[in-house]
Amino acid sequence: MKHNFGAGPGILPHEVLKQSAEGVLNFNGTGLSILEISHRSPEFEAVLDEAVALVKELLEVPEGYSVLFLQGGASTQFALAPYNLLPEGGKAAYVESGVWANKALKEAKFFGQVEVVATSKPTNFNYIPKDFTIPEDAAYIHITSNNTIYGTQLQQFFKSPIPVVCDMSSDIFSRKFDVADFGLIYAGAQKNMGPAGVTLVVVKNDILGKTGRAIPAMFNYQVQIEGGSMYNTPPCFAIYVAMLTLRWLKAKGGVAGIELENIAKAKALYTEIDRNPLFKGVSAIEDRSHMNVTFVVENPEHEKPFLKYCDEKGIVGIKGHRSVGGFRASIYNALPITSVHVLIDAMQEFEEKYK
């Protein structure tokens, strides 16, 4: 058995993998594969409708918001958010809390002025900036809720006098939050929601159409809303797997239920990291992520032996991002706590061998 701690594409529920495999061979008894049915067919429209309905239910999306399933990953949204929200000659505010936040603000510079209101770059992004002033003359403020590379997470969202745009790619559906506090939320599916290939966008309708610029149809949120996420052929299979994953999440007690599991997984692993003299955490304790647990060995000579030891135990995907090294255990929704305990046992056994 493999214990998949990979950062993304991340682990999916086994039952979802089984159901999606069946859908590839014979989707809902149609005799056709989900890969080959028309996106305009009643069968697929039912899939998309259910996926949208589950998003609205699980996130408790209020009236006045639209739910979209788009292509291009969260990285495309780095550009589409300012394209649709930042007026000509306008200003946007950004909190720089990691590599992806940095990439997002670079894209925004193509469309207007960018003010970095806070950054943790000087300390290699090991904490979440919190004490900053939101410029009320900005069109929006952009934040990244969870930083996969550095293992930091914004534990409490803030109220803002201007629309908040949030990249939730790596912790969407992992914890409760109030959608009404945001103007735009976007998230690549491949962490907690499905396979790579589809991106979720939740946008407040009344913040759109105010830039004064013409936007090509494929990049225009209003056009995508009018087309019901089907202005062109959508990523049908990825949406289908996302729908199955959201069904699975609902059956487990929804976001509130999975949040309790995620807290328990994170607490168990961080407790071992803090106890074990061979390892240490690298992110600020108050900002530790419940999705991506980052840590290093006290003795660099132990890094390769520990990776090898984990591989022998069936533990995969814990090598840290190439830009920071060390280890990263991604404990997304579908990872069971039993896998976390396998990793903890490996750390304790490694301690006995190398202490």
Question: What is the chain's pLDDT, residue by residue, as a tens digit (355 residues)?
Answer: 899 999 999 999 999 999 999 999 999 999 999 999 999 999 999 999 999 999 999 999 999 999 999 999 999 999 999 999 999 999 999 999 999 999 999 999 999 999 999 999 999 999 999 989 999 999 999 999 999 999 999 999 999 999 999 999 999 999 999 999 999 999 999 999 999 999 999 999 999 999 999 999 999 999 999 999 999 999 999 999 999 999 999 999 999 999 999 999 999 999 999 999 999 999 999 999 999 999 999 999 999 999 999 999 999 999 998 878 899 999 999 999 999 999 999 999 999 998 7
Residue of 328, 331, 324, 262 lying closest to 295 (CA atoms): 328
Domain boundary residue, one of 227, 251, 275: 251
Which one from 91, 106, 167, 206 is the annotated catalytic residue? Answer: 167
- At residue 212, φ and ψ (nearest 5 deg) are 80, 10
Number of separate domains in the chain: 2
- At residue 165, φ and ψ (nearest 5 deg) are -105, 130
Does 100 qualify as catalytic in the annotation? yes
> Is 7 within a domain?
no
In this predicted structure, what is the pLDDT of residue 40? 96
Rounded-to-integer distance, Cα 116 and Cα 132, Å: 10
Q: Which residues of 60-81 are buried (b: 16+ CB within 10 A; e: fewer)?
A: ebeeebbbbbbebbbbbbbbbb
In this predicted structure, what is the pLDDT of residue 321? 85
> Is 32 within a domain?
yes
In this predicted structure, what is the pLDDT of residue 325? 83
In this predicted structure, what is the pLDDT of residue 219? 98
Identify the CATH number of the domain in which residue 103 sits.
Answer: 3.40.640.10
Within this chain, do residues 189 and 91 fall inside the same structural domain, yes or no? yes
How far is the CA of 162 from the CAs of 43, 102, 142, 204, in angstroms? 40, 21, 10, 12
In this predicted structure, what is the pLDDT of residue 247? 98
Which one from 2, 18, 100, 210 is the annotated catalytic residue? Answer: 100
Within this chain, do residues 268 and 195 fall inside the same structural domain, yes or no? no
Within this chain, do residues 261 and 162 fall inside the same structural domain, yes or no? no
Which one from 191, 248, 265, 287 is the annotated catalytic residue? Answer: 191
Q: Decide if 141 contacts 165 (C-beta within 8 A).
A: yes
Rounded-to-integer distance, Cα 303 and Cα 110, Å: 41
Supply 236's token pair: 């049908």
In this predicted structure, what is the pLDDT of residue 355? 77
Does 248 qualify as catalytic in the annotation? no
Does 167 qualify as catalytic in the annotation? yes
Pairing of strands 152-153, 315-316: unpaired
Find the domain containing 336 and state its range.
Answer: 254-354
Domain boundary residue, one of 217, 251, 285: 251
In this predicted structure, what is the pLDDT of residue 354? 87
Rounded-to-integer distance, Cα 278 and Cα 313, Å: 18
